[in-house]
Structure 1
Amino acid sequence: MSLHLMLKSLKRRKVVTGLLLLQLAMTLALLLNAVMLASQTHASLNEPTGLDMENILQVQLKPTTPELRKYPALSDLLERQLAGVRAVPGVIAVAYSNQGPLLQGGNNGNVFKVGAQERTNLASIPMYFVSADFFQVLGLTVQNGELPVSPTPLDGKVQSPVVLTQQLAEHLFAEENPVGQAVNRGPVAAVVSNFYGQRSAEHVFNNSVQVAPLYGVDWGYSLLLRVEAGSADAVRQQLDQVLRNVDTNIEIFYVRSLAEQHHRLYRTEFGLAVLLTILAGLMLLVTMISSYSNAHFHALKSQQDIGIKRALGASRQAIFVELLAEGWLCTLLGTGAGVFVALLLNKLLATVIVIPAIPLWLPLLSISVLMLCVTLATWYPARIATRVSPATATKTL
């Protein structure tokens, strides 16, 4: 059958054909974006973070009384909490921090090399104010310089030394030695290995750390613990009671491993990937059922035409291929429209989440998968059509 005749045949069933084309377009759009979102989420969850995810715990908490949320009562509370947590069996090191790693947003600001602001200025760089054991807890290695060993008061008179991650130091100072030079936050004391700070499009490893007291924690703060391998659960179970024994005037929001925090960071993408995958699977199933029903109904209604063709010498194989070809043509038309729907859906998703653009090869692969599914769905009706006897069909003439 020629292309013109196949299009004419589909036009005669325009309502059913239109619905099938819509199903094919929506199925392809959901399938493409589900694959892209799933691959993006998988890559994000397996990207290097520079952190020992399973053996570092984060406790997010806040004092419940205004006095304890401000220096100097806050400083005393932190020292007592650190001492109490250090005594827990399985704890290797503990540090306080104004925020933990692996966050979506948080405390940040711009950083630039003094004297070269226009060339080096970077916005939204995470600012960590921590105790000296912070680097041991996260397992950061010193690349250059020496780490501060005690907090420097941020009183406006003496600037606290700054520790930069390697990626940030390279951006600010290129090939120069950053140690001893100054950024707008203070003099650079050391450069440490990269770690995942706040989630952003490009600069997740750019972090600025200062060993300094916490002067106010109206939004809470973090205690970060490095624990012995295999002891995370046992330590976690004791933390609530240990911290409340130190002082009951605290609210503990959560205790998580960094692995759990990492998964929560991408839970939106993970949830959408699961949802789109389920919807794409259901749409694919519905499309196969619709293709089967459409082909089966068409084969039954066309028995007379098929009988005439058989009487005129058409082989069973030719009838079989002809019916499959109609399904292939319908699939190509539907998926052709589906590519544009997929691109539109991809742009809409990109406005709320991070999702990569659809590469050229993926629509071609997805169209091939749909072609295979439609072929399987229409194979049995096409086989039934080949059984029409010329003598039986011509009796209706």
Structure 2
Amino acid sequence: MSLSLLLKVMLNRKIVTILLLLQLAITLALLLNSVLLAQQTHQQLNQPTGLELEDTLLVQLKPTTPQLRMYPLLEDLLQRQVRALQNIPGVIAAAYSNQAVITQGGNNGNIYDVDNEDRTNISSVPMYFVSPDFFKVLNVNVVQGELPQLSSYLDGDTQPGVILTQRLTERLFPGESVVGRQLNRGPVSAVISDFYGQRSAEDVMYNSIQVAPPYAVDWGYALMLRTAPGQAGAVREQLTTVLQTVEPNIEIYYIRSLAEQQRQLYRNEYGLASLLTILTALMLLVTMISSYSSAHFHVLKRQQEIGVKRALGASKRLIFIELLSESWLCTLIGAFLGIGCALILNQALAQVISIPSLNWWLPLITSAILLFSVTLATWYPATIATRVSPATATKAL
């Protein structure tokens, strides 16, 4: 059947065709963006973090009295809490930090080599102030230098040494020896393996750490524990009681494993991907029903025409392909319109969440899914059309 005849058949039922094209376009736009978002969320949840997610616990809390949120009472509180956590059976190491890892944002700022500020200035790198066992909790490896002991810049004129992650080191000092080099945050003491810090940083693996107590924690701080395999649940049950025994004037915001922290970080994308998937499935189902109804009604109206074609020698196979071709053409036009709708929806979603731009191959895959679904829906009506006998053409004569 020629393309012009297929278009003529579609134009004979303008309203039905327009509604079906609109439905196909919206369905493809939802399908394309839901697949894109689901793919991105899956990649984010499975990206390497450099951390032991299941066996590391994170406690976010804040003292309720102003005095405990400031040095020197804050330092004493942190040390008492860490000692108490280390005494819990099943805890391998415990440490404090001014902020959590695997988080959206927090305490960060620029960092640069003081001898080459113009080339090395990085605008957003997290600043961690931690206890010495922080590195043992994260189970990171020392690549260069030695980890410093606990120091306080509040008691002297020198800045505590800075520990950098590998990826940040390569950005600041590509291929160079770094221990002893001076940064705006202090001298470099060591380089450690990468770990996921802040999502809002220039790179999630860019981290700068100093072994020193935070001066103040008006927004709270984090306690972190690495547990023996399989002990995270038992340790977690004791944390609230232990910490409130050490100091009752605290508010515990949450206790999570780092695996839960990672899922929480991407909850918006995960939730929206799930919602779009459900909407897409419903739209796909409605589109299949509409395609079936349209094709079935079309076959019933054209029984006499099909009977004449059969009487003139048209085979069942030709009739079958003709009916499917009409559905295929309608689907391809709808898919073309749907790609435009998908671009608009993609730009709208980008204003709310982080979502990648459309690539060239995903529209082809989603269009193929849509084409398969419509073909499946119109298969039975097309089969009915092949059963129309030539005698049908003579009944109305």
TM-score by length of 2: 0.97
Could you tell me how far 1:86 is from its partner in structure 2?
A: 1.2
Identity of aligned residues (%): 64
Show the 5 A alignment for 1:245-394: 245-394=245-394
Residue 218 of structure 1 corresponds to which residue in structure 2? 218
CA–CA separation in structure 1 for the residues paired with 2:156 and 2:77: 24
- CA deviations 1:326-378 (Å, max 9, x no partner) are 11111111001111111222222223222222222221122222222111111
Could you tell me how far 1:201 is from its partner in structure 2?
A: 7.3
CA contact (8 A) 2:123 2:202 kept: no
- CA deviations 1:84-122 (Å, max 9, x no partner) are 111111111111100010010110000000121110000
User: Does 1:87 pair with 2:93?
Assistant: no
Amino acid at match of 1:94: A
CA–CA separation in structure 1 for the residues paired with 2:393 and 2:156: 98
> Where in structure 1 do 4 or more consecutive aligned residues deviate above 6 Å?
none
CA–CA separation in structure 2 for the residues paired with 1:60 and 1:186: 27
CA–CA separation in structure 1 for the residues paired with 2:202 and 2:125: 11
Q: Cα distance 1:173–1:392, how it changes in 2: closer, same or farther (>3 A)?
A: closer
Residue 106 of structure 1 corresponds to which residue in structure 2? 106
Residue 75 of structure 1 corresponds to which residue in structure 2? 75
CA–CA separation in structure 1 for the residues paired with 2:83 and 2:281: 54
CA–CA separation in structure 2 for the residues paired with 1:384 and 1:174: 70
SS at match of 2:61: strand
Amino acid at match of 2:94: V
Residue 123 of structure 1 corresponds to which residue in structure 2? 123
CA contact (8 A) 1:154 1:212 kept: no
Could you tell me how far 1:68 is from its partner in structure 2?
A: 0.9
CA contact (8 A) 1:147 1:163 kept: yes
SS at match of 1:59: strand
User: Does 1:61 pair with 2:61?
Assistant: yes
Residue 236 of structure 2 corresponds to which residue in structure 1? 236
SS at match of 1:53: coil
Q: Unaligned stretches of 5+ in structure 1?
A: none
CA contact (8 A) 2:126 2:201 kept: no
- CA deviations 1:207-235 (Å, max 9, x no partner) are 00001122111100000111111110110
CA contact (8 A) 2:161 2:211 kept: yes
Matched pairs, number: 397
CA–CA separation in structure 2 for the residues paired with 1:150 and 1:371: 64
CA–CA separation in structure 1 for the residues paired with 2:7 and 2:156: 79
Could you tell me how far 1:393 is from its partner in structure 2?
A: 2.5
User: Does 1:11 pair with 2:4?
Assistant: no
Give the CA RMSD over aligned residues.
Answer: 1.3
CA contact (8 A) 2:124 2:201 kept: no
CA–CA separation in structure 2 for the residues paired with 1:88 and 1:242: 9
Q: Unaligned stretches of 5+ in structure 2?
A: none
SS at match of 2:195: coil
Residue 184 of structure 2 corresponds to which residue in structure 1? 184
CA contact (8 A) 1:303 1:388 kept: yes
CA contact (8 A) 1:95 1:133 kept: yes
CA contact (8 A) 1:163 1:190 kept: yes
CA contact (8 A) 1:154 1:160 kept: no
Amino acid at match of 2:316: R
CA–CA separation in structure 2 for the residues paired with 1:154 and 1:308: 97
CA–CA separation in structure 2 for the residues paired with 1:246 and 1:200: 34
CA contact (8 A) 1:110 1:122 kept: yes
- CA deviations 1:249-286 (Å, max 9, x no partner) are 00001111111101111111111111111111111111
CA–CA separation in structure 1 for the residues paired with 2:154 and 2:141: 25
